[in-house]
A and B are shown apart, each in its own frame.
Chain A
C-alpha cells in the first residue's frame, strides 16, 4: 500500500504526500487519503459506460422524434424537415413512428461508440500516467 500511495502521489504531482505507513490499513478500514487517491484512478467500466450512453442517446432520439410527431405541423407542411435531414447519415430514418425506432437504433450505435471511445481513452491515459509514475518511484527498500 505504501508503494501504491507513493506511485499515485507522484502521478498527481504530490511527492511530499505522507509516506509513512503507520496507523494505516488497520482493521480492514481504508485510510481517507488512500481512498481518495484510489478513486482518482478508478477505471471506468467500458461496457457499462457504453451501454448507458447507448441507452440515453437512443431514448433522446426516440423522444425527440415522437415529440415532433405529437406536436404535428401546419396543414401542407412536412413534419420535422430539419430533424429528418439526419437521413443523410442514417439511411431509413424519417420523422415518423417507424422512423423513431430506426433513429433510436442508430443513436444507440452512435452513443455506444462514443461512450466506449471515451471510456477507453480515460482508462488508457490513466493507466499510462500511473505506469509512468511507477517507473519513476523506486521500489520500497531500495536507496
Chain B
C-alpha cells in the first residue's frame, strides 16, 4: 500500500473570504469584544496553570526534600511577598502565581490578536463549507510570528522588570542566581543595561521557540486533518 503524499496546497486552504468587503465588513466593536473575551479566557487558563503549578511544586518540594525544601523556590518570595515553601506559603503562592499568570495571559492574547490581526483570524478557519454547527469543527491555526512577538515581548519585559526590581530594592549585588542567566543570555547582568541586553536575547530565544511551536502545531494539524479526510 503506497502512502499518498500530503497535499500541501490543500492542507493550507482556508475558507475563501469575500474580497470586496474583507476587513471593512467587520465591526470594530465586534473585534474588540471578541478579543477581550478570549483574552480573559486565556488569562484564566494561564492563571490557573501558574497558580496550581506553583502550589503543586511547593507541596511536592516539601514532600520530597523535607527540611531542605525551598532552596530555590524561596527566591520567588523576592517577587511575591509572603510566599515561602511552607503549607501556608503554598496558598499565597497559588494566589500570587494566579495573578501573575492571569496578567501574562491577558497581555499575551492582546498582543497576539492585535499583531496577527483579523487576517490571521481568517486563516484559523479550516473548513470549506459552513454547516450549522461549524464552530464545533473550526480548528485554530497559530501564527508563529504573532505568537513569538507576544510571548517574546512578555517574557523579555518580565526579565527586565524583575532585574529592575532587584536593583531598586538594593539586592542586585547579592543576586547570584539571577546572574547565572548570563550562561544563556550573553551580556546579561543585574543592571539596567545588562537586563536590556538579556531581554533582547530572551526575546530572540522565545520568538524562535514560539515560531517552531506554531510550525509543529500547524503541521500536525494538517496531517491529522488530511488523515481525517482520507478516512471519511
Contacts and interface: CB of A to CB of B under 8 A. Distances in A.
Nearest to A41: B135
Contacts of B213: 52-53, 55-56
A49 B217 contact: yes
A101 B37 CA distance: 40
A29 B16 contact: yes
A17 B45 CA distance: 28
Contact of A64 (B27, B31, B122, B184): B184
A8 B130 CA distance: 14
B21 interface: yes
Given A47-B224, A56-B216, A14 B30 contact: yes
Given A36-B31, A52-B217, A13 B37 contact: yes
B41 interface: yes
Interface string B213-232: 11011101100100000000
A38 B177 contact: no
B125 A42 contact: yes
A3 B133 CA distance: 10
B contacts with A: majority SS: helix
B72 A38 contact: no
Given A42-B124, A45-B220, A56-B216, A114 B49 contact: yes
Given A43-B138, A52-B220, A89 B132 contact: no
Given A43-B139, A51-B220, A126-B41, A32 B26 contact: yes
A71 B25 CA distance: 56
B121 A39 contact: yes
A35 B15 contact: yes
Contacts of A56: 209, 212-213, 216
Contact of B37 (A12, A49, A117): A12
Contacts of A9: 30
Interface of A is mostly: helix
B8 interface: no
B220 A47 contact: yes
Given A48-B217, A52-B220, A89-B64, A40 B125 contact: no
How many B residues touch the partner, as a band? 35 or more
A109 interface: no
Given A52-B220, A60-B209, A122 B42 contact: yes
A32 B122 contact: yes
Contacts of A67: 183-184
B61 interface: yes
Given A60-B209, A121-B48, A33 B217 contact: no
B132 A36 contact: no
Considering the complex of A and B, which 4 residue pairs feature the smallest CB-CB distances, nearest first? Answer: A48-B220, A42-B140, A52-B216, A52-B217
23 contacts: A30-B125, A32-B17, A32-B22, A32-B23, A35-B121, A35-B125, A38-B125, A38-B138, A43-B138, A47-B224, A48-B218, A48-B220, A52-B220, A55-B216, A68-B183, A82-B180, A88-B64, A89-B57, A114-B53, A121-B48, A125-B45, A129-B37, A129-B41
Given A8-B135, A43-B136, A118-B45, 20 more contacts: A3-B132, A4-B133, A9-B30, A13-B33, A17-B27, A17-B30, A18-B27, A29-B17, A32-B23, A32-B25, A33-B26, A37-B30, A38-B135, A40-B38, A45-B140, A48-B224, A56-B209, A88-B65, A114-B49, A121-B48
